[in-house]
């Protein structure tokens, strides 16, 4: 079944000024969807290590700078009563709570006393947090209607397809194409290169690390599946089915358990919404694709199977579990407020490959709790939107956003996600969209039709 071309609610009159009304389908010359499309392109099409001269990889990327400006844009709109979007928004409050915990950890770190490296890392993390919050808040408050939401998500899908294709080329070509994606005015850092694992080669495409590519594509995968099932025309659905297959291939090319388990988590949420015929088709396509991949690249198939068959002896797992005692030692020293936001700086300290543990060390129980609240609130408001939605396509998209939050909580257990800006900004977009669909499906007309006034 395809999505409806037009949502009737988008034509409900919304307040655009004093005694002035318009529909949410009105478009300004530059609206939030256009800005998000630009941000996604800068984030995925340009190598993550291409940064402005004399800046760091955390905050020197053009996409991250744009996200900071998005935060300033949202903040400026809230300071003016005629520009701010009316109506409640739960996502705003949880962002404020999480931001307060980051500020508390930042102050605690300087109270403890920091080295120059730790102080610089704390400053960079706070700037990255502004970018992260800018994406969340502008998505939650700035997107005006369902069509603009779909536009942003379609841009994300095709940009992830581009990264998947780059990853495939990296795995089969002796020349890394990323080194040729140089942008005038930006300086390129040292690429991570390729890494052999089992009989395959891990790729990172335009991201910083293999796990970052895996995590980013995993967050996009349910959206690609959604458009493959609910696009307007059969031709478009076939096109997005190919896109979903390419994104899946990109995840498998990273040779990581994280991506495979994340897809299983997504299926656990989405399969109950499908008909038996659709479940059968997806299973057949999945098994057939895995068999075809194993036939074309036998080493990849064997390696993927061995990731789970030999998991107990895998160094990537044993090295993580061996750090638990060390983490417990440091955590016991400052359990409630931590050592300071952003102050666990590898290689000064060990890599943890677990964002929950790193958050516990940096911000203590307080910051772990607020990060969990951020994910859980996004998940809950998406569930509420799912229950309110009146057609199957909207319900499926809302459930995709629910699944993505569950996936994100698991992915944070497998690597230090906040060290990688491509993944973090895509995650921020998904959290913000949970607030968007909550707003679009609200039973109160004043909230449902609320729209930012600065695009009028």
SS3 at position 280? helix
* Residue 1, in any domain of the structure: no
198 pLDDT band (50/70/90 cuts)?
low
Tell me what pLDDT residue 196 has: 64
**CA pair distance 133, 60, nearest whole angstrom:** 17
pTM: 0.94
Residue 63 domain flag = yes
In tens, the pLDDT along 150-187 reads: 999 999 999 999 999 999 898 887 778 888 888 888 98
Highest mean pLDDT range out of 2-6, 86-90, 173-177?
Answer: 86-90
Residue 189 has a pLDDT of 77
Over residues 426-431, mean pLDDT = 98
Least confident of 113-122, 342-351, 447-456: 447-456
Rounded average pLDDT over 236-251: 94
Residue 94's pLDDT is what? 97
Give the residue-averaged pLDDT of 383-402: 96
DSSP character for 201? E
**Residue 113 — left, alpha, or beta (φ > 0 → left; ψ -120 to 50 → alpha)?**
left
In this model, does residue 100 exceed pLDDT 70? yes
Q: How confident is the model at residue 21 (pLDDT cuts 50, 70, 90)?
A: low
Residues paired with 22 in a beta bridge: 14
- Does the pLDDT value for residue 4 go beyond 60? no
Percentage, residues of the chain above pLDDT 90: 59
CB 50 within 8 A of CB 26: no
For residue 311, what are the domain limits? 8-455
The count of other CB atoms within 10 Å of the CB of residue 39 is 27
The reply to whether 2 falls in a domain is: no
Average pLDDT over residues 402-419: 96
Distances (CA, A) of 177 to 164, 206, 247: 12, 9, 18
Q: For residue 49, give both structure tokens.
A: 């290590």
Q: Is residue 57 part of a domain?
A: yes
Report the chain's mean pLDDT, rounded to a whole number. Answer: 87
Segment among 128-132, 221-225, 267-271, 286-290 with least mean pLDDT: 286-290
Asked if pLDDT for residue 331 goes beyond 70, the answer is yes
26 or 9, which is more confident?
Answer: 9
- Asked which of 55-59, 259-263, 332-336, 377-381 is least confident by mean pLDDT, the reply is 55-59
pLDDT at 62 over 60: yes
User: What is the predicted pLDDT for the residue at 144?
Assistant: 85
User: Residue 294 CB: number of other CB atoms within 10 A?
Assistant: 15
Count of CB atoms situated within 10 Å of the CB of 8: 8
When divided into structural domains, the chain yields a total of 1
447/449 Cα distance (integer angstroms): 6
Higher pLDDT, 21 or 336: 336
| Residue 289: band (very low, low, confident or very high) from pLDDT cuts 50, 70, 90 | confident
Residue 143 domain flag: yes
Pairing of strands 187-188, 195-197: unpaired
Higher pLDDT, 267 or 79: 267
Confidence of residue 455 (pLDDT cuts 50, 70, 90): very low
Q: Is the pLDDT of residue 430 over 50?
A: yes
Q: Where are the alpha helices (DSSP H) in 347-420?
A: 355-388, 392-411
């Amino acid at each position: 079944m395809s999505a409806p071309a037009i949502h009737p609610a988008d034509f409900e009159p919304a307040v655009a000024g004093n005694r002035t009304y318009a529909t949410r389908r009105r478009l300004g010359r530059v609206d939030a969807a256009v800005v998000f499309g630009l941000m996604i392109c800068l984030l995925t099409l340009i190598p993550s290590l291409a940064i402005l001269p004399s800046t760091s990889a955390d905050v020197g990327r053009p996409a991250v700078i744009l996200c900071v400006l998005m935060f300033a844009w949202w903040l400026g709109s809230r300071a003016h009563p005629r520009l701010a979007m009316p109506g409640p928004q739960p996502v705003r409050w949880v962002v404020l709570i999480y931001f307060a915990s980051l500020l508390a950890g930042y102050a605690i770190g300087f109270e403890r006393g920091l080295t120059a490296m730790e102080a610089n890392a704390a400053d960079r993390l706070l700037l990255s947090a502004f970018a992260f919050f800018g994406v969340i808040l502008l998505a939650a408050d700035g997107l005006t209607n369902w069509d603009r939401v779909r536009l942003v998500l379609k841009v994300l899908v095709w940009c992830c397809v581009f990264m998947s294709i780059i990853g495939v080329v990296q795995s089969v070509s002796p020349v890394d194409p990323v080194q040729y994606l140089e942008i005038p005015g930006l300086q390129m850092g040292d690429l991570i290169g390729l890494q052999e694992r089992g009989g395959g080669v891990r790729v990172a495409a335009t991201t910083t690390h293999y796990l970052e590519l895996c995590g980013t594509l995993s967050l996009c995968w349910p959206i690609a599946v959604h458009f493959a099932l609910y696009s307007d025309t059969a031709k478009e659905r076939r096109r997005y089915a190919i896109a979903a297959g390419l994104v899946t291939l990109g995840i498998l090319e990273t040779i990581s358990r994280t991506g495979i388990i994340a897809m299983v988590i997504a299926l656990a949420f989405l399969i109950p919404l499908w008909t038996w015929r659709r479940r059968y088709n997806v299973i057949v396509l999945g098994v057939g694709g895995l068999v075809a991949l194993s036939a074309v690249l036998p080493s990849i198939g064997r390696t993927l199977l061995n990731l789970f068959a030999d998991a107990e002896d895998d160094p990537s797992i044993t090295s993580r579990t061996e750090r638990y005692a060390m983490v417990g030692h440091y955590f016991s020293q400052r359990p409630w407020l931590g050592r300071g936001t952003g102050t666990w700086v590898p290689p000064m300290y060990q890599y943890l490959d677990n964002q929950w543990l790193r958050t516990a060390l940096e911000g203590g129980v307080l910051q772990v709790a607020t990060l969990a609240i951020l994910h859980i609130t996004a998940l809950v408001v998406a569930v509420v939107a799912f229950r309110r939605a009146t057609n199957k396509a909207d319900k499926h998209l809302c459930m995709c956003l629910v699944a993505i939050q569950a996936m994100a909580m698991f992915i944070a257990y497998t690597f230090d996600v906040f060290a990688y800006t491509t993944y973090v900004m895509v995650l921020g977009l998904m959290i913000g969209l949970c607030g968007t669909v909550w707003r679009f499906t609200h039973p109160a007309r004043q909230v449902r039709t609320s729209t930012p006034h600065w695009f009028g």
